[in-house]
Amino acid sequence: MEVVSKNRSFGGEQAVYRHVSKVCGVDMTFAVYLPLQAKDGSVPCLWYLSGLTCTHDNAMSKAGLQAHAAEFGVAIVLPDTSPRGEGVADDEAYDLGQGAGFYVNATQAPWKPHFQMYDYVVNELRELVQANLPVSDAHGITGHSMGGHGALTIALRNPDRYKSVSAFAPIANPTQSDWGRKQLEAYLGADESSWADYDATILLKEKGWHDDILIDQGASDQFLDLLRPEALAEVITKTRQPSVFRLQEGYDHSYFFVSTFARDHVEWHAKRLYR
């Protein structure tokens, strides 16, 4: 892990690291906030997955997570949203290619050699973080938009690896949305049966979740038709999945929305991670 930067923040340390990813085949950059409590021993770890066009920096700079992580004694890990750099496939559209990894393992050309973001987050980066930083085995995961999709699908597929899951305005039903069908076909191919592993609505219906789920959605979100929160809410109701699904009046899709409710999510995860 090469240190890119380190800054004091709320008594703890906000760091950015770079490392060679064997899974993605390129250098990857990620951020970690360690609260002051980490000086005395390992602390629980909350993963934050960002949305389309973002890097590790967006949430690090805009979500205000550090203050809440310091208050509740949890580490925050912020991965990038895709592999990047020379030789990495890309697309002219903002919602495909670099900055739009969708947290899947691509099986199709030209994406397959580098776009292995599911394995990167679930396995490689987790192992790297736990081997080098004072974090415990108690992990939770959250995210915004595409990152909310990533958080939900990763947790639902790996209930043994995550104790808690939440999301901000997730892409809730990508197999039925233009924010999903385009990307899933590009990364995974035309066989839609392979897409189900990356759809939170389908996964929750089929697998359920071992605890409760927290979801915040802005009622004035300009992308509501693409996010399809109603599909996930319907499954939550039909399966009687313990959840808190909050439709927040007047809030849009921006980081103003995320930062407003960030403390609620960090506190919610901390209670479950320390339980």
**What is the rounded distance in angstroms from the CA atom of residue 156 to the CA atom of residue 207?**
7
Let me know if 253 is a catalytic residue: yes
Q: Could you tell me which residues come within 8 angstroms of residue 114 by beta carbon, excluding any fewer than 6 positions away?
A: 24, 25, 26, 83, 88, 89, 106
Helix (H/G/I), strand (E/B), else coil: 267 = helix
Cβ distance 228 to 172 under 8 Å?
yes
Q: Which of 114, 139, 253, 269 is catalytic?
A: 253
Let me know if 221 is a catalytic residue: yes
Residue 17 tokens read as: 């690291």
Q: Which of 9, 145, 164, 177 is catalytic?
A: 145
Q: Which of 21, 221, 265, 269 is catalytic?
A: 221
Cβ distance 169 to 144 under 8 Å?
yes
Let me know if 145 is a catalytic residue: yes
CA angle, 67 then 72 then 77, to 5°:
70
Annotated catalytic sites, by residue? 145, 221, 253
